[in-house]
Amino acid sequence: MTKRSFVKSPSPANIQSLSNNKATLLESPLKSKVQTKICPTSTPLQREASLKPADNGVSRDAKDFRKRIIAAITDGDNGQEVEEFFNVSKDDYHYVLDAIDDEKITRKLAYASELKLLTATLPNRLHQSYLAPMSATLLGAVGSIGVPYRFGQIRMQNDVAILSAIGKKLGIPDMLMEYKDPSGDCIPLWATEISVSQTKKSARGRLRDYMKSRKDLLAISLVDVKEMNKHAGPQSGSEAIQILKDRPSVSTFPEWLSHRDADDEDPIVMNTFGHTWQHPITATITTWLRHPDGSFHMKDRDPDFYATASLFPEREGLEDVDHVFRRTLERVKDHVVSLIKVRSPSDVDSSAFDPIRTWSPPTPLINWDILTDEIVVGAKQTGYGRYATWHNRIIKRKAKEDEVTTGGSGSMKRTRTA
């Protein structure tokens, strides 16, 4: 088992802004009065519902709770990175999905039914840093199997919020490998969740729900990206607030990066303008294969069905993950061939299918250098997004204060004397 330290650092790129360090805490509707509190990002927004919808109707408190969830999910000005809603029933969840137009959803929704937990997260580049390169790699690998198009496609779906299946809207994982057969039916094969934008407990619960409902699923993966210290925005009266007040416009990414503390050796840490916008992170990846008995044993450590490894900042155990990835792809090929054979047995039994039957995953399978490079890029851009959001907010606040002071005329407002 080899162990490597990260050395390489990529060039930055532009990003979209995100994030906020404050959230509104709406307490349980059991209480007669809704109370509003301000809490730091280190305590995610927690909202509790008191009652499950009754069989013959829904209580007023439950209806109010659903409306508040919908309002939070569709509020484009709400910059809280992660929001969690507790005691959310399946009926609540499906009601929320049915009530919201897809284009109005500003967050990724993740529902874990066993936990009755709905997590709503803002997208960020750190979340995407694993999905994009891994999706491209795996798509290239399964493409080399060579299944003719007329027999269907093996494809990758990334971060799709809602999937219609069997008349219900079901949340699907951050990344999904699936087989689309000639009739258009999509059969899930390998599901991956990223816990950078939600709690690890929520991500595991979501995977557990998905693997129970989809019996064709062959493998599940969990990528856990953890920030060592949860980010909180600069405090009122701090040096950072004063520095940003004195800067009339938001810096570009290169400008912002040029102000990074020279003493920071960690390529992830983003300390600029007197504030740490991105703390050190760790990244681990864990994969489980479905056992021959048809179930996933998430506590089992059999190396043929399970592997975990450290991806960042140090690499350790990636050979084991690579081994399980290769076994997964071989299973994907065998399963797809068996599905094709149901429709076209003579084609599958012909010599034309020999290269497909004997296919094995390419070597090497994963370029871990590219993946770690993308994690660094994602962390930098996430830090910049937090900065840009805060600086924009301070500029707007200062403009409003100036307008009050000048009366909107550009000069000091005078008080009329009697």
Asked whether the predicted pLDDT for residue 14 surpasses 70, the reply is: no
Q: Are 224 and 215 in contact (CB under 8 A)?
A: no
98 DSSP 8-state letter: H
pLDDT given at position 218: 94
Least confident among 110-124, 134-148, 315-329, 372-386: 110-124
Taking residues 313-317, what's their average pLDDT? 92
34 DSSP 8-state letter: -
Using alpha carbons, select from 51, 56, 5, 4 the residue that is nearest to residue 28: 51
304 DSSP 8-state letter: T
d(CA 106, CA 123) in angstroms, rounded, equals 9
Asked whether the predicted pLDDT for residue 409 surpasses 80, the reply is: no
Quick one: pLDDT band at residue 106, thresholds 50, 70, 90?
A: low
pLDDT given at position 3: 45
Q: Are 68 and 86 in contact (CB under 8 A)?
A: no
Instruction: Kindly report the pTM of this predicted structure.
Output: 0.71
Taking residues 134-159, what's their average pLDDT? 91
d(CA 386, CA 320) in angstroms, rounded, equals 35
Task: Give CA separation, 388 vs 85, 114, 250, 298, 331, in Å.
Answer: 27, 37, 6, 40, 45
Taking residues 325-347, what's their average pLDDT? 95
When the pLDDT of each residue in the chain is averaged and rounded to a whole number, the result is 77
Using alpha carbons, select from 21, 17, 20, 18 the residue that is nearest to residue 232: 21
Asked whether the predicted pLDDT for residue 188 surpasses 80, the reply is: yes
Using alpha carbons, select from 315, 122, 334, 105 the residue that is nearest to residue 216: 334
Quick one: pLDDT band at residue 38, thresholds 50, 70, 90?
A: very low
Token pair, residue 57, equals: 């109707």
| Cβ-defined contacts of 157-160 (< 8 Å, 24+) | 158/131, 158/132, 159/108, 159/123, 159/127, 159/128, 159/131
Q: Which helix (H) or strand (E) holds 165?
A: strand 163-165
pLDDT given at position 99: 79
